[in-house]
Amino acid sequence: MEFAKRLEKIPPYLFAEIDRKRDELVSRGVDIINLGVGDPDKPTPSHIVEAMHKGIDDPSTHNYPPYQGTKEYRQAAASWMERRFGVKDLNPNTEVISSIGSKEAIHNTFLAFVESGDYTLISDPGYPVYRTSTIFAGGESYNMPLLAKNNFLPDLDSIPEEIARKAKLFWINYPNNPTGGLATLEDFEKMVAFCKKYDILLCHDHAYSEMAFDSYKPPSVLQVPGAKDIAIEFHSLSKSYNMTGWRIGFVAGNAKGIKGLGQVKTNLDSGVFKAIQRAAIAAFDTTEDELQKVMSVYQRRRDIIVAGLKSLGWPIEAPKATLYVWVPVPTGYTSTDFVTLLLEKCGIIVPPGNGYGAAGEGFFRIALTAPDERMEEAIKRMKEAGICYK
């Protein structure tokens, strides 16, 4: 029995490795502070849970759901896009499709559009699924370095013409995981124009659209006039509403992009449980005040971490969005060396920046998904261990 050759090209999934290390250390009695994975630690808001209970009690939710999502869910997603971003012309029948979170929809988009000889343009550092899904689809990835000097935006002028002409997908993610970088509508306009020039499907992973602080409101690429001609946007309820385990999201935008994704999905999955879709509809109706209560938790943790790291000499600014703080390692360390030091000396788990791509070398990522007191304890342990930025 042999594995498929493609598995030889794919490293162990970064967060699975983090879980393995955590479990190993816990079994040895180590008090671990896990700041590795962006999995909210607070419960799903009660009005969403209540809608789920009602949905479960309704026998009409117990059969197969429509592959593309219920009509009510797709309409609710389109209505939310209009309220939140002012995107008014989404057709819920042809330009919106439900997804099992974002991860499966991201992967299935590669299967729908990429084959041998095709290129994908992906962020580096970036969500590891962009890279591995390119491999699964038989394509080649071209890494677009996201550098601090460019505000963690891709340098479109540096992409070789011959690569652009072979590219099928262009992947962006703003607010960005892991860097916390932001994109303006002007930035999106340039990306839309680039993708139109080369006939590339622009894919915006907008998983952190609501994870923003200090009154910042991230825009949608679909706000750009004409973006729907070439772009689709991936939305997940996982982070915004503390629903990571529920596995529910949607994709909206270009009809051909939605159709291709739908063709793959109808052959690979049977949709999202209808009771979960009803709960998601309730999530879309979350008031701004309720949402800000959720966000205030992460903003407070962000402030604890940033202030603590600054007290240890780190030259960082507070990010305006995402669940993460992207932090440079001290001089003389590689990313892997430094996160190993944190683990061994302090019992703190964080992922190395190079786990998100070669351009992530020299950084590590802190997830704001542990209670305040554990964040404070992490800083205290670093201080007591003499770990500081030099």
Give the whole-angstrom CA distance, residue 384 versus residue 102. 40
CATH code: domain 5-43+289-384 is: 3.90.1150.10
> What's the pLDDT score for residue 80?
98
Supply 47's token pair.
């009005």
Given a cut of 70, whether residue 195 has pLDDT beyond it is yes
Q: Which pLDDT value is given to residue 217?
A: 97
Considering only residues 30 and 371, tell me which one the structure prediction assigns the higher pLDDT: 371
DSSP tag of 218:
P
Of all residues in the chain, what percent carry a pLDDT higher than 90?
90
Which one-letter amino acid corresponds to residue 254? N
Per-residue pLDDT at 29:
81
pLDDT digits (tens, 9 = 90+) for 84-136: 999 999 999 999 999 999 999 999 999 999 999 999 999 999 999 999 999 99
Separation of alpha carbons 245 and 266, rounded Å = 22
Q: What is the pLDDT of residues 241-293, one digit of tens each?
A: 999 999 999 999 999 999 999 999 999 999 999 999 999 999 999 999 999 99
Residue 54: its pLDDT value, please? Answer: 98
Predicted confidence (pLDDT) at residue 15 exceeds the cutoff of 70:
no
Q: How confident is the model at residue 24 (pLDDT cuts 50, 70, 90)?
A: confident
Q: Can you say whether the dihedral through the CA atoms of 325, 331, 336, 342 is positive or negative?
A: negative
pLDDT at 236: 97
- Residue 7's pLDDT is 83
pTM: 0.95
Query: Residue for token digits 């000097």?
Result: 149
Name 34's bridge partners.
Answer: 349
Q: What percent of the chain has pLDDT over 70?
A: 99
Residue 180 has a CB neighbour count (10 Å cut-off) of: 23
Domain with CATH 3.40.640.10 in the chain: 46-284
Q: CA-to-CA distance for 206 and 48, rounded, in angstroms? A: 21
CB of 380 within 8 A of CB of 64? no
Q: Rounded distance, CA 204 to CA 217, Å?
A: 16
Q: Which of 14-28, 144-158, 227-241, 253-267 has the lowest mean pLDDT?
A: 14-28
As assigned by CATH, the class of the 46-284 domain is alpha beta
Residue 18 has pLDDT above 80, yes or no: no
Phi, psi (5° rounding) for residue 28? -95, 5
pLDDT score recorded for residue 14: 65
Q: Rounded CA gap, 68 and 265, in Å?
A: 8
What's the rounded mean pLDDT across residues 201-214? 98
From edge to edge, which strands make up the β-sheet containing 249-253?
96-99, 249-253, 231-236, 201-205, 167-172, 119-124, 140-145
pLDDT for res 358: 94
Q: Is the pLDDT of residue 140 over 90?
A: yes
Query: Could you tell me the end-to-end alpha-carbon distance of the chain, in angstroms, rounded to an integer?
Result: 51
Q: What is the DSSP secondary-structure string of 267-328?
A: HH-----HHHHHHHHHHHT--HHHHHHHHHHHHHHHHHHHHHHHHTT------SBSSEEEEE
User: In the prediction, which pLDDT does 9 show?
Assistant: 84
Mean pLDDT, the chain, rounded, equals: 95
- Residues of the chain within CATH 3.90.1150.10 domain(s) are 5-43+289-384
Kindly indicate the confidence band of residue 6, based on its pLDDT and cuts at 50, 70 and 90.
confident
